[in-house]
Every structure is written in C-alpha cells, then in structure tokens.
Amino acid sequence: MKIKTAVVIALLTALMASPAPALEVTWTWTPPTHSASGHELPDGYIAHYVFQIRVERGDWEELDRPTEPSYTGDMPLGRVDARVCAVDIHGRWGVWVESDPDDPCLDVGPAGGCGVPGWR
C-alpha cells in the first residue's frame, strides 16, 4: 500500500509542477477610426490598447498593452474570452469590445482549432 501511495503522490507532484497546457494564439482586432461622438480619429491618436482575457468565465486578467491591434501569446486550453480597449494619446480609455460569447472558436483546443475569435 505504501508503494501505491508513493506513486500517486509522485504523479500528483509531477503534474502540479508541470506548466498548464497552453496553445499559442494570435488575437487581432480592427482599430477604431472614429470617436464615440463620431469624429474621425487622426493617425497616431491611439497610444495603445489594453488586452485582457478570462478563462472559463472567471475574472478578467490583463495580458498586455500592445501598440498594434493584435496580441500573440500562450492561451490556456478551455473557454477563453477576450476584450480590448483603446487608450488615446491623452490617456482616455475607450469602450471595451468583447469577443463574441457565442463564437465556438473561443474554446482553445488542439492545433488546427479556431483560436481566433470574432468581435462584436
């Protein structure tokens, strides 16, 4: 019995020490061209974006503040939602744009899966 318990403990320890499975995914979005009031935005007006994800409908977690409208990184396997917000040169934040919650591609899975969501 001690040997079986030791093997189970060793396996659990190895699993806990290994990194969670993930898949590299590239998320892209279309930069805003107009302000909320309808004015056209000049080139260079967007300073950066705030990119966040949540896994299995959990809390939002900020992953990056890219200056280009894309993010590439390892995503955990399972249900992953994403949202992005533009920040202008004055530090003002725009509205959050979330990935489509009905998009089946939000389930990050093995290679060959979708991995790139649609945006509302």
**Binning pLDDT at 50, 70 and 90, where does residue 64 land?**
very high
- Which CATH superfamily includes the segment(s) 21-108? Immunoglobulins (2.60.40.10)
Please give the residue that has the higher pLDDT: either 117 or 100: 100
Helix (H, G, I), strand (E, B) or coil at 54: strand
pLDDT digit string, tens, across residues 6-51: 443 444 444 445 556 777 888 888 888 888 788 898 999 999 999 9
User: How far apart are alpha carbons 10 and 5 in whole angstroms?
Assistant: 9
The per-residue pLDDT for 11 is: 41
Domain-by-domain residue ranges, the chain?
Answer: 21-108
pLDDT digit string, tens, across residues 67-110: 999 999 988 877 888 899 999 999 999 888 888 766 655 554 44
